[in-house]
Amino acid sequence: MLDYETLKLIWWVLVGALLLGFAIMDGHDMGVGTLLPFAGKNDVERRIMINTVGPHWDGNQVWFITAGGAIFAAWPLVYATAFSGFYWAMLAVLWALFFRPVGFDYRSKIENPTWRNTWDWGLFVGGFVPPLIFGVAFGNLLQGVPFHFDNDLRSFYTGTFWELLNPFALLTGLVSTAMITAHGANYLMIRTEGDVYRRVRSASLIFGSLTLVLFAAAGVWLSKGISGYVITSTIDPNALPNPLDKTVVTETGAWLKNYSLYPATMLVPAIGFLGGLLAIVAAKFNKPLTAFVGTSLSMLGIIGTAGVSMFPFVMPSSSDPRSSLTVWDSVSSHLTLGLMLGATIIFLPLIIIYTSWAYKKMSGKVTAEFINANDKSAY
């Protein structure tokens, strides 16, 4: 089996990969939900939009569930501390997500405009709220979160829900929302035509540009106004994980250190920008598939930037810095990490293969004729 240090690093990459998978796959469903009430002007148009993701949203949502499960298995302290600390934020995500399964499945089962319109707004909430909150959560991780451990490693969150909604976190929340909306718009461009296509193309251009502007603004703010965290004691990456075994200080500009230490990592934010630019240009020239690849790359860059900036921190503590959680000391045992890596290596390629098959089988434009012909069976 691989040594413990390597496994800890691999799991940092894998958690990032699962979050990225979630952003790319469930993200485009959520983008569709966010755009639904605005880009769909009548019932048929909205049904067109919904049915572009109809066969796929449930499979895509499993990226979210699996990312949660993987964090539980690989980073139990992060799972425990973040989810209980961000209690109301997590519940807001959950409750927003509740609208999606029922919204998709129940909306078109009854022909009543009020019924359908209500579910459309439910789908909007389910698409709009989770990316916003995830963005806000990342903004808070970058600033550090007020929590500490007692000697038994029980975590205590000492902040409030409202503190999470600070200006920098709201900015990162908007980055996330804009990014997901642009991504959803690009997906809709692949699968629609006519009026809906024209509207989502404008949305793609607007939210694509907005993403880049906000991402740049967050970068500047991060380098000038947010202090990062540094481990000051020596770390043995192979040691048994115990977050209380280290000392940590805050330092302005610490979140930029990795980029000067390992200049190759500058590629990560660069991909964020270049992918975004590619998406905008492709949308402009009506190449939706390329635009979709562009926003996917852009999300890789943007999520990656947050990860690389904080590395090795995952969840720094602002009130008790030594309690901060890092890739070295918030992980599962050597055996569990190895085992879970094995499971991932077996199943992730299979998932990608059969998901691709499902998309291939259901590909093509969803049209008004299709909706009318399948009035009883389509969403």
- φ, ψ (nearest 5 deg) of residue 326: -125, 170
Tell me the one-letter amino acid at 281: V
Nearest residue (CB) to another protein, 152 versus 264: 152
Nearest residue (CB) to another protein, 83 versus 221: 83
Chain CA centroid to CA 197, Å = 25
Q: Please state the closest distance from residue 24 (CB atom) to another protein, in A.
A: 15
In a 3-state reduction of DSSP, which class is residue 251?
Answer: strand
How many residues are listed for the chain in this entry?
379
Distance between CA atoms of residues 26 and 29, nearest Å: 5
DSSP annotation of 149 reads E
Distance between CA atoms of residues 207 and 212, nearest Å: 9
Residue keyed to tokens 């550090």: 144
CA distances from 348 to 117, 275, 338, 355 (A): 37, 24, 15, 10
Q: Please state the closest distance from residue 2 (CB atom) to another protein, in A.
A: 16
Q: Please state the closest distance from residue 54 (CB atom) to another protein, in A.
A: 6
Nearest residue (CB) to another protein, 110 versus 270: 110
Distance between CA atoms of residues 86 and 20, nearest Å: 21
Nearest residue (CB) to another protein, 104 versus 215: 104
Q: Please state the closest distance from residue 177 (CB atom) to another protein, in A.
A: 21
Distance between CA atoms of residues 136 and 263, nearest Å: 28
Nearest residue (CB) to another protein, 261 versus 350: 350
Q: Please state the closest distance from residue 218 (CB atom) to another protein, in A.
A: 27
- φ, ψ (nearest 5 deg) of residue 69: -65, -40
Buried b (16+ CB within 10 A) or exposed e, 190-225: bbbeeebbebbbebbbebbbbbbebbeebbebbeee
Least Cα distance to 207 among 168, 169, 174, 172 occurs for: 174
Q: Please state the closest distance from residue 11 (CB atom) to another protein, in A.
A: 11
CB 94 within 8 A of CB 11: no
Nearest residue (CB) to another protein, 211 versus 324: 324
Nearest residue (CB) to another protein, 54 versus 316: 54
Distance between CA atoms of residues 211 and 267, nearest Å: 18
Nearest residue (CB) to another protein, 355 versus 367: 355
Q: Please state the closest distance from residue 324 (CB atom) to another protein, in A.
A: 15
Q: Which residues pair with 148 in a beta bridge?
A: 156
Nearest residue (CB) to another protein, 82 versus 300: 82
Token duo for residue 17: 């990969």
Q: Please state the closest distance from residue 327 (CB atom) to another protein, in A.
A: 15
Q: Please state the closest distance from residue 107 (CB atom) to another protein, in A.
A: 10
